[in-house]
Amino acid sequence: MTSNSQLPYEFCKESDWNYSFITISGVKYIAYFVDYSVYHPDFDEVYTFNFEPEESTPHPIDPKIAATIVTILREFFQSKERAMILVCDNIDGKENKRNRLFSRWYTNFKTKDILKFDASATTEEYQLYVSTSIFETFGLTLLEAASSGCALIGLDVPYGCTTFIENGKNGYLIDYSFDCNENDEQRLNSTIADRIVDVFSDYKRLNDFSEFSYKKACNYLLTKISCLWEQLIK
């Protein structure tokens, strides 16, 4: 007999890669897949996966969330032979907790159709990205830095930095004038140096900047951009 906590919430399939559901507490969750071939063309039918509440407000523990996520995964992997890469982020030091949680979900809802393999990797960590470019279009390097959870410092010029940096939330925008002289440049260098010191002098602020950069970068996920295109051409 299946307990009520193992029954999933009703969920909405908003696109081939995007799902959503609302808990009994009224918290809306977004679950989405990203085609890994976007980053590595040789990876066919391999996806990354993430889910998160739409609003970053405190919410109660709810076992039905696990049942819903597992149901979404089962549906997604039914149509084709697919693989998923799930990375337990270590930006907040809770990677082991996440790994234990997902392992427990796998054990509790285990089926013969899905196999799980664990691995670990160590990468060189960067915490801050500084841009002194005065001419940018989209600013792809800033997006890459934000998606890696870096705090950002850049010049307050049209496009580029102002697209990805919200002053005081995920970094600092530095005032800049295109008709600056040598003395202005010296003051600019001093200001940038001061902001770098500010970032690394407060770990909580650095962590807050990092979290906000992640959220900023999520606006440019393939699933969200594709939904915007769908809305535009309808």
CATH number of the domain where residue 179 is located? 3.40.50.2000
Verify that 109 and 86 share a domain, yes or no: yes
The reply to whether 190 falls in a domain is: yes
Q: pLDDT-derived band of residue 223, with 50, 70 and 90 as boundaries?
A: low
The residue range of the domain holding 85 is 4-121
What distance in Å separates the CA atoms of residue 71 and residue 162, rounded to the nearest whole number? 40
Strand 151-155 and strand 128-131: pairing?
parallel
Verify that 133 and 117 share a domain, yes or no: no
The reply to whether 103 falls in a domain is: yes
The reply to whether 211 falls in a domain is: yes
Q: pLDDT-derived band of residue 173, with 50, 70 and 90 as boundaries?
A: very high
What distance in Å separates the CA atoms of residue 62 and residue 78, rounded to the nearest whole number? 26
What distance in Å separates the CA atoms of residue 63 and residue 5, rounded to the nearest whole number? 6
Q: pLDDT-derived band of residue 21, with 50, 70 and 90 as boundaries?
A: very high
Verify that 176 and 202 share a domain, yes or no: yes
The reply to whether 223 falls in a domain is: no
Helices (H), 86-127: 95-108
Verify that 108 and 133 share a domain, yes or no: no
Burial of 135 (0-12, 13-18, 19+ CB in 10 A): exposed
pLDDT beyond 70 at 120: no
pLDDT of residue 178: 81
pLDDT of residue 1: 42
- Domain count for the chain, please give it: 2
Verify that 114 and 140 share a domain, yes or no: no
Verify that 107 and 138 share a domain, yes or no: no
Residue 39 half-sphere exposure toward CB, CA atoms < 13 A: 11
Verify that 149 and 195 share a domain, yes or no: yes
The reply to whether 69 falls in a domain is: yes
pLDDT of residue 232: 79
What distance in Å separates the CA atoms of residue 48 and residue 88, rounded to the nearest whole number? 11
Percentage of the chain exceeding pLDDT 70: 88
Q: Which residues contact 80 (CB under 8 A, 6 or more apart)?
A: 45
Q: What is the mean pLDDT of residues 155-178?
A: 90
Predicted confidence (pLDDT) per residue in 188-216, tens digit: 889 999 999 999 999 889 989 998 998 88
pLDDT of residue 172: 96
pLDDT of residue 5: 58
DSSP 8-class letter at 175: P
Q: Cα–Cα distances in Å, from 183 out to 186, 188, 190?
A: 5, 9, 11
What distance in Å separates the CA atoms of residue 31 and residue 129, rounded to the nearest whole number? 29
The reply to whether 229 falls in a domain is: no
Verify that 165 and 83 share a domain, yes or no: no
Verify that 142 and 163 share a domain, yes or no: yes
76 within 8 A of 33, measured Cβ to Cβ: yes
Verify that 114 and 35 share a domain, yes or no: yes
Token couple for 213: 């950069």
Verify that 133 and 111 share a domain, yes or no: no
The structure's pTM equals 0.53
The reply to whether 231 falls in a domain is: no
